[in-house]
Structure 1
């Protein structure tokens, strides 16, 4: 079953079309950012829906998260205690999108093993299925998908700023130097993107164009100029954690600088102490 071939013949329509379906009753709102970054490597996200009952979707934190990331809330009332109608709605919508050829790739955000059967059915029909879940996600669900990404809570270990008297703050402001021109920045998200994209390739490389497309999918407002660089190539040249390679034909590819990463006391990709 060729899902993409039946779509319009434009160059954009030949790109994989992705649906991100979130089981809001089962996962925390902060998982959305991770899910969108992860699934952007597989294609363009054209459907974003969050499913839950009135207690879940009525909570301010879910309303804020779904609104910020432009998700459509799909409210499902519980007709009887203990019956999860949101799960059934998610599964039915997924199959409908598959048969109507709206998308060919599904990212289901949940840790609930009840969705394992849905994953198997979608894959049997030729769809690519990704699961984004927490550490508690059972093997039955992980193995029912083509790709599984485990979301880990981020613990903010930055020390709190010590409050200073108002007189001291005023003195510091008066003696402050004039603002300097913005310096070139090297956001770690670029390194993490290279690690994700290059990790699935035999040579551990990612094409510069593919990297740029991925960054724009995850953040439509992304531009190297916002970080003080003239372009993506100029930006990557400032990273000591990355290596650039000019391939045949003149195009560029980028890999991780594994030697430099190994020298660091804390692995910047995992946040864990490096193994010596």
Structure 2
């Protein structure tokens, strides 16, 4: 056992997680923490939690039995919260890990962070957003499971939904996971939280880089990852099909990545490519923009473009305003969406900002 890792208390709400996710959660958490306390809460006399008995024993958990004293009420939530506060006040832990998808734990998560402790969360892809955001780091358990385990996950959730006393309504996430259990072909994204579209992901990464970059434009890759995580607790490279943050950066094709000397060793630095032409997302191209607004965008770009044809959305927006055109006339939420939907422009990222150019400028 690595005693150098910070001690964590791992508390699991059995009503809100599948038993087959337990091993994957432990494996993921022990990369960064030493699990000093392992407790799982629920009414294990009920049918849908009876199968937890062997799993609890195999992983060394202390089960906290909580009978349902009222129909429709989950008394294990209260027991978990009380125990968490007792453990918090003991001062023995560097952090907590709560495994649940229930928004009722939001205040507990924020209270733990207020004491300066780390707060990690694990839950389903339909976890309450308030709880997700209250955690310092939140991991969707669907990311951790192999396809066969996902099938068991779906069955567990179906079992729980049949319980007379429990019963959250079916959700889109449950429907997708059930499809896996039934053998329906289903890509990974169908049972995970929907990933950001490529352009939003690139923008997020570029913004993170801009906030942590050094004077020469290079930034420690680890600091970029840390910044993204700090601003989006459920950010996970696996959510985008990458096994690590470095592989995610490589896959976006937005950054140059180099190994540079730092201190007594070497570490990875990244910097946006000097000029990066990016495709316009296909779902933007399917939107209809009124013909007169499209012509106005063409005219605005033609009047404002530089020698190489490239110009920023800000410049186009100012020209459109001078022409008396209003964004609401486009039917789009942002000028970027309007520019993308016309199909007239190509886009590039230059040192963290977007620029546009009429396609016809460089055709011949």
Cα displacement string for residues 124-156 of structure 1 (whole angstroms, at most 9, x for unaligned residues): 111111110011112111101000001114324
> Secondary structure of the equivalent of 2:19?
coil
Cα displacement string for residues 151-210 of structure 1 (whole angstroms, at most 9, x for unaligned residues): 1143249xxxxxxxxxxxxxxxxxxxxxxxxxxxxxxxxxxxxxxxxxxxx6457xxxxx
CA distance in 2, matches of 1:254, 1:70: 38
CA distance in 2, matches of 1:28, 1:138: 17
Q: How many residues align?
A: 167
Which has the higher Rg, Structure 1 or Structure 2? 2
Which of these residues, 117, 137, 145, is aligned with residue 147 of structure 1?
A: 137
> Secondary structure of the equivalent of 2:30?
helix
Cα displacement string for residues 80-138 of structure 1 (whole angstroms, at most 9, x for unaligned residues): 22221111111111111110112121010011111001101111111111110011112
Flag the 1:146–1:57 CA change in 2: closer, same or farther, 3 A: farther
CA distance in 2, matches of 1:42, 1:120: 20
Which of these residues, 47, 71, 76, is aligned with residue 61 of structure 2?
A: 71
Flag the 1:204–1:33 CA change in 2: closer, same or farther, 3 A: farther
Flag the 1:125–1:250 CA change in 2: closer, same or farther, 3 A: closer
Higher relative contact order (CA 8 A, sep 6+): 1
Bigger Cα displacement from structure 2, 53-62 vs 127-136: 53-62
Per the alignment, residue 127 of structure 2 pairs with 137
RMSD (CA atoms): 3.5
Per the alignment, residue 10 of structure 2 pairs with 20
Bigger Cα displacement from structure 2, 76-85 vs 106-115: 76-85
Which of these residues, 91, 95, 100, is aligned with residue 101 of structure 1?
A: 91
Give me the TM-score of the superposition, normalised by structure 2.
0.40
Task: Name segments (4+ residues, structure 1) moved above 4 Å.
Answer: 56-60, 202-205, 245-255
Flag the 1:104–1:120 CA change in 2: closer, same or farther, 3 A: same
CA distance in 2, matches of 1:151, 1:106: 17
Q: CA deviation at 1:60?
A: 4.7
CA distance in 1, matches of 2:261, 2:27: 27
Contact 1:133 1:149 in 2 (8 A): yes
Per the alignment, residue 42 of structure 1 pairs with 32
Q: Whose helix fraction is larger, Structure 1's or Structure 2's?
A: 2
Contact 1:57 1:75 in 2 (8 A): no
Task: Identify unmatched segments of 5+ residues in structure 1.
Answer: 1-10, 158-201, 206-244, 256-276
Q: CA deviation at 1:15?
A: 4.1
